[in-house]
Amino acid sequence: MSPTPTTIKQYDQQAPTREETETATFALGCFWGPDGRFGALDGVIRTRVGYAGGSKVDPTYHDLGEHTEAFQVDYDPTERSYRDLLDLAVRSHDLNRQSSNVQYQNILFVSTPEQAETVEGYLDARGLGRDGIETRIEQLSRFHLAEDYHQKHSLRAKRAILDAFEDAGYDAADVRESPAAAKLNGRAAGRDLPDGHTFAAPNRTVHRG
Protein backbone atom coordinates (compact mmCIF):
# COMPACT_ATOMS: atom_id res chain seq x y z
CA MET A 1 0.00 0.00 0.00
CA SER A 2 1.38 3.40 -0.93
CA PRO A 3 2.07 6.02 1.74
CA THR A 4 -0.37 8.86 2.24
CA PRO A 5 0.31 12.43 3.38
CA THR A 6 -1.04 11.39 6.79
CA THR A 7 1.25 8.37 7.23
CA ILE A 8 4.26 10.37 6.04
CA LYS A 9 3.62 13.16 8.52
CA GLN A 10 2.95 10.73 11.38
CA TYR A 11 6.11 8.80 10.65
CA ASP A 12 8.26 11.91 10.62
CA GLN A 13 6.65 13.41 13.72
CA GLN A 14 7.37 10.25 15.72
CA ALA A 15 10.97 9.88 14.55
CA PRO A 16 13.89 10.94 16.78
CA THR A 17 14.80 14.61 16.44
CA ARG A 18 18.11 15.84 15.04
CA GLU A 19 19.27 16.47 18.61
CA GLU A 20 18.66 12.80 19.47
CA THR A 21 20.76 11.49 16.59
CA GLU A 22 24.42 11.33 15.63
CA THR A 23 25.85 11.65 12.11
CA ALA A 24 28.20 9.45 10.11
CA THR A 25 29.75 10.45 6.76
CA PHE A 26 31.20 8.12 4.15
CA ALA A 27 32.13 8.14 0.46
CA LEU A 28 31.65 4.83 -1.36
CA GLY A 29 31.60 5.67 -5.04
CA CYS A 30 28.38 7.00 -6.57
CA PHE A 31 26.25 8.28 -3.70
CA TRP A 32 22.85 7.15 -5.00
CA GLY A 33 23.26 3.48 -4.05
CA PRO A 34 24.56 3.97 -0.49
CA ASP A 35 21.85 6.56 0.17
CA GLY A 36 19.22 3.87 -0.38
CA ARG A 37 21.16 1.03 1.22
CA PHE A 38 21.90 2.85 4.48
CA GLY A 39 18.56 4.65 4.57
CA ALA A 40 16.72 1.33 4.72
CA LEU A 41 18.51 0.27 7.91
CA ASP A 42 16.75 0.16 11.24
CA GLY A 43 18.15 2.90 13.45
CA VAL A 44 19.05 5.17 10.53
CA ILE A 45 16.74 8.17 10.70
CA ARG A 46 17.77 10.61 7.95
CA THR A 47 20.11 10.59 4.97
CA ARG A 48 21.47 13.13 2.54
CA VAL A 49 24.03 13.16 -0.27
CA GLY A 50 26.68 15.73 -1.04
CA TYR A 51 30.33 16.47 -1.67
CA ALA A 52 33.28 16.39 0.72
CA GLY A 53 37.02 15.95 0.92
CA GLY A 54 38.15 18.79 -1.33
CA SER A 55 38.92 22.47 -1.02
CA LYS A 56 36.55 24.04 -3.56
CA VAL A 57 34.28 26.51 -1.77
CA ASP A 58 31.05 25.83 -3.67
CA PRO A 59 31.27 22.48 -5.47
CA THR A 60 28.54 21.38 -7.83
CA TYR A 61 27.96 18.08 -9.60
CA HIS A 62 29.47 19.47 -12.80
CA ASP A 63 32.27 21.35 -11.03
CA LEU A 64 33.43 19.26 -8.07
CA GLY A 65 37.04 20.35 -7.88
CA GLU A 66 38.76 17.74 -5.67
CA HIS A 67 35.61 16.80 -3.78
CA THR A 68 34.17 13.29 -3.71
CA GLU A 69 30.55 12.16 -3.80
CA ALA A 70 29.64 11.42 -0.18
CA PHE A 71 26.59 10.72 1.94
CA GLN A 72 25.54 11.27 5.52
CA VAL A 73 23.32 9.24 7.79
CA ASP A 74 21.75 10.54 10.98
CA TYR A 75 21.31 7.53 13.26
CA ASP A 76 19.80 6.81 16.63
CA PRO A 77 22.72 5.65 18.84
CA THR A 78 20.29 3.73 21.06
CA GLU A 79 19.32 1.59 18.06
CA ARG A 80 22.50 1.35 15.97
CA SER A 81 26.14 2.17 16.65
CA TYR A 82 28.67 4.06 14.60
CA ARG A 83 30.71 0.86 14.48
CA ASP A 84 27.79 -0.95 12.83
CA LEU A 85 27.66 1.71 10.11
CA LEU A 86 31.44 1.67 9.73
CA ASP A 87 31.39 -2.11 9.31
CA LEU A 88 28.79 -1.87 6.54
CA ALA A 89 30.77 0.91 4.84
CA VAL A 90 33.93 -1.20 4.92
CA ARG A 91 32.14 -4.33 3.68
CA SER A 92 30.62 -2.31 0.84
CA HIS A 93 33.94 -1.79 -0.93
CA ASP A 94 37.48 -3.13 -1.29
CA LEU A 95 39.84 -1.44 1.17
CA ASN A 96 42.78 -2.28 -1.09
CA ARG A 97 41.44 -0.66 -4.26
CA GLN A 98 40.81 3.00 -4.99
CA SER A 99 39.21 4.72 -7.95
CA SER A 100 41.49 6.91 -10.02
CA ASN A 101 38.52 9.25 -10.39
CA VAL A 102 38.42 11.48 -7.30
CA GLN A 103 34.64 11.92 -7.69
CA TYR A 104 34.08 8.25 -6.82
CA GLN A 105 36.79 7.53 -4.28
CA ASN A 106 36.27 5.59 -1.04
CA ILE A 107 36.68 7.71 2.09
CA LEU A 108 35.84 7.11 5.74
CA PHE A 109 35.24 10.59 7.10
CA VAL A 110 35.46 11.14 10.85
CA SER A 111 34.00 14.17 12.58
CA THR A 112 34.65 13.43 16.27
CA PRO A 113 37.52 11.97 18.30
CA GLU A 114 35.24 9.05 19.17
CA GLN A 115 34.67 8.24 15.50
CA ALA A 116 38.41 8.46 14.78
CA GLU A 117 39.11 6.09 17.68
CA THR A 118 36.46 3.65 16.45
CA VAL A 119 37.95 3.60 12.94
CA GLU A 120 41.47 3.04 14.29
CA GLY A 121 40.26 0.25 16.58
CA TYR A 122 38.26 -1.36 13.79
CA LEU A 123 41.28 -1.46 11.49
CA ASP A 124 43.66 -2.55 14.24
CA ALA A 125 41.39 -5.50 15.06
CA ARG A 126 41.87 -6.65 11.46
CA GLY A 127 45.60 -6.10 11.42
CA LEU A 128 45.24 -3.07 9.18
CA GLY A 129 46.54 0.46 9.37
CA ARG A 130 45.54 3.53 7.43
CA ASP A 131 48.90 3.45 5.62
CA GLY A 132 48.28 -0.12 4.49
CA ILE A 133 44.95 0.43 2.74
CA GLU A 134 43.89 2.45 -0.28
CA THR A 135 40.68 3.75 1.31
CA ARG A 136 41.21 7.29 2.57
CA ILE A 137 40.51 8.16 6.21
CA GLU A 138 40.01 11.87 6.68
CA GLN A 139 38.72 14.42 9.14
CA LEU A 140 35.49 15.90 7.81
CA SER A 141 35.91 19.63 7.39
CA ARG A 142 32.66 20.40 5.61
CA PHE A 143 29.82 18.58 3.89
CA HIS A 144 28.34 20.36 0.87
CA LEU A 145 24.79 19.35 0.03
CA ALA A 146 24.28 18.00 -3.49
CA GLU A 147 21.61 19.40 -5.77
CA ASP A 148 17.98 18.54 -5.03
CA TYR A 149 17.71 16.15 -7.98
CA HIS A 150 20.37 13.91 -6.41
CA GLN A 151 18.61 13.67 -3.04
CA LYS A 152 16.56 10.45 -2.59
CA HIS A 153 17.32 9.56 -6.19
CA SER A 154 15.51 6.21 -6.29
CA LEU A 155 12.44 7.70 -4.64
CA ARG A 156 12.26 10.42 -7.31
CA ALA A 157 11.40 7.76 -9.87
CA LYS A 158 8.21 6.99 -7.92
CA ARG A 159 5.95 9.85 -8.94
CA ALA A 160 2.94 8.68 -6.91
CA ILE A 161 4.99 8.64 -3.69
CA LEU A 162 6.48 12.06 -4.39
CA ASP A 163 2.95 13.35 -4.92
CA ALA A 164 2.11 12.20 -1.39
CA PHE A 165 5.01 14.25 -0.01
CA GLU A 166 3.91 17.28 -2.02
CA ASP A 167 0.34 16.85 -0.81
CA ALA A 168 1.73 16.80 2.74
CA GLY A 169 3.26 20.23 2.08
CA TYR A 170 6.89 19.06 1.82
CA ASP A 171 9.37 21.04 -0.24
CA ALA A 172 12.67 19.65 -1.59
CA ALA A 173 14.56 20.31 1.66
CA ASP A 174 11.79 18.63 3.67
CA VAL A 175 11.98 15.52 1.48
CA ARG A 176 15.76 15.44 1.80
CA GLU A 177 15.58 15.48 5.60
CA SER A 178 12.47 13.33 5.99
CA PRO A 179 12.85 10.05 7.91
CA ALA A 180 9.96 8.64 5.88
CA ALA A 181 11.72 9.59 2.64
CA ALA A 182 14.90 7.85 3.79
CA LYS A 183 13.02 4.59 4.30
CA LEU A 184 10.92 4.90 1.15
CA ASN A 185 14.02 5.71 -0.88
CA GLY A 186 15.56 2.50 0.42
CA ARG A 187 12.47 0.57 -0.57
CA ALA A 188 12.47 2.20 -4.01
CA ALA A 189 16.12 1.12 -4.38
CA GLY A 190 15.09 -2.49 -3.81
CA ARG A 191 16.06 -2.76 -0.14
CA ASP A 192 13.95 -4.57 2.43
CA LEU A 193 12.71 -2.39 5.26
CA PRO A 194 12.72 -3.45 8.92
CA ASP A 195 9.52 -4.72 10.48
CA GLY A 196 7.06 -1.94 11.27
CA HIS A 197 8.02 0.31 8.38
CA THR A 198 5.12 -0.39 6.03
CA PHE A 199 3.52 3.09 5.84
CA ALA A 200 0.25 1.26 5.33
CA ALA A 201 -1.91 2.38 8.26
CA PRO A 202 -2.52 5.98 9.36
CA ASN A 203 -2.50 5.03 13.05
CA ARG A 204 0.47 2.66 13.20
CA THR A 205 3.11 3.15 15.87
CA VAL A 206 6.61 4.02 14.68
CA HIS A 207 9.43 2.93 16.95
CA ARG A 208 12.56 5.09 16.73
CA GLY A 209 13.20 5.46 12.96
High-pLDDT (> 90) share of the chain, %: 88
Strand segments, DSSP code E, in 62-166 are 68-75, 106-110, 136-139, 144-145
Confidence at residue 207, expressed as pLDDT on a 0 to 100 scale:
39
Is the pLDDT at 1 greater than 70? The verdict is no
Query: What is the mean predicted confidence (pLDDT) over 130-157?
Result: 95
Considering only CA atoms, which of 195, 191, 197 is closest in space to residue 32? 191
Confidence of residue 2 (pLDDT cuts 50, 70, 90): confident
pLDDT tens figures, 77-129: 999 999 999 999 999 999 999 999 999 999 999 999 999 999 999 999 999 88
All domains of the chain in start order, with CATH: 5-188 (3.30.1060.10)
Catalytic residues: 30
CB-based contacts of 138: which residues, under 8 Å, 6+ apart?
Answer: 53, 107, 108, 109, 110
**pTM for this structure?**
0.92
